[in-house]
Structure 1
């Protein structure tokens, strides 16, 4: 096995360039899944030699972790690759599909592995979906080293993960992929497909912006373009026709909900009218309840503007009344 930060062994191509039998039936994003940590894009703050995961790899020891970040940033890939660091038995489950009975079986198998001298790395996708009692079931097994737990979540761990479990784990934050990392993913896709992506330069830039830091979404769009585009490269209008538009990232009561509310409030506080209108539109298009936004504006007019402009609260309340009427 090669060094996870080094180059692949002699004669082995990088994972992004391998096209094995049966690959045609697998999604492009899965075919391009990294096989070495140096192929993971956009997370140098975690994976460089002096970063937390880089130091773990150098020591050959992985501790229990929470990988917190947006979709398509490499959480599952990093967990899989970390299992190779210490020669772990790798087990992956989804908190959406697994229950207490599944966890008991995993813990029993991990105990047998431990007695045989091998540790188990348990990767739990969407770990925030487990309730508190299910999360508590991990505690004794993490405590005695039966399992090394790596959880992935798109939600703030402080809100969703038990304090007792958090105290035994290190939280690492993954960033959205920047334009350079996204473009590098497209280059790898083009190398695998052995042809350029059939888009003009303007459409390529629009595709990177549309991905909004989500590598998986970008590769899914690229696969659709490889399949659907004709001989001539498509322009921005053609890109919109083929891919439509991405649904805005928003939710009713979780991370996206509070992030947009905070962005709107801070834009107003900074007297940035354009930014405030942008975040307001994002929230409304995403399906936010207008009454929630109006309550935010009333709070802002009262607490942040206050006596600096006594009419601010009057105007906010008038908007609320007008909407309700």
Structure 2
């Protein structure tokens, strides 16, 4: 079932091109500030040390594996996570507002809507690689793309491709971890972003949630005059629910990540726990690296590490909550299941390398 046509005021070709150029320049500037320059510095540092600096977001918040719920832990986790991602979140919200107001919808659909699901997913995955955002910070952009009429396969691929195909994280893994980690992440990530996104689109269909259609229908005109209202509205509902869910995850993080020393003997159960709960826990960009290294140093096998290399960055409970209004429960549900299957594949592949 194809997406319904989404209304919008016609623009002259010259104004449409001017608005699109503004959106492009804004996006490049934001990514340069929030991602490209910091990651270039990080690569330079890791090239010299060959060792990851800093702790995981769980350790930074003082959360131990298997610990009970704690409001204080939830608050500390929220602060640590917010400090790690605030630049990317600001960039994601601004880029999302630009997508909805400055880029003509017909241009977006022309780029992302291809003859087949895998082709749309491939384009979405390619577009995601320069962004290099974590799953939560890319959620506003994925929401904006869907509300602008982009197809399911392309939007899901963009959402998953940001964390899974992040070129900076792949370089980080090459510099500080065994080469098998980067190879597994790249191969399974490509399969998930292209094949998995196309599968999600086939299983879930192309229906746009009614709320998303109504919101776009309420935007009677695009252009710079709509930019600030759209940004304010998007921030007003996305940021509070994002912080509430992150706080909730932090409060129960000990239960959501119970892989302490006693879990080394869990075998297959440990892999299943890593897949299921790893997909709910939220980590910043490259946050899976210190967690995976810590578990490997503690004696966990490569199957658990392989599962976490996919499950931790690909999706999270906060990101799922943020996109469900635009993508719909069917798309989000199938995406979680497909990511789980990809994590199990990663858990099977890494021990073989």
Which one has more relative contact order, counting CA pairs under 8 Å at least 6 apart?
A: 2
Query: Normalized against structure 2, the TM-score is what?
Result: 0.25
More strand, by proportion: 1
TM-score (norm 1): 0.27
Higher fraction of helix? 2
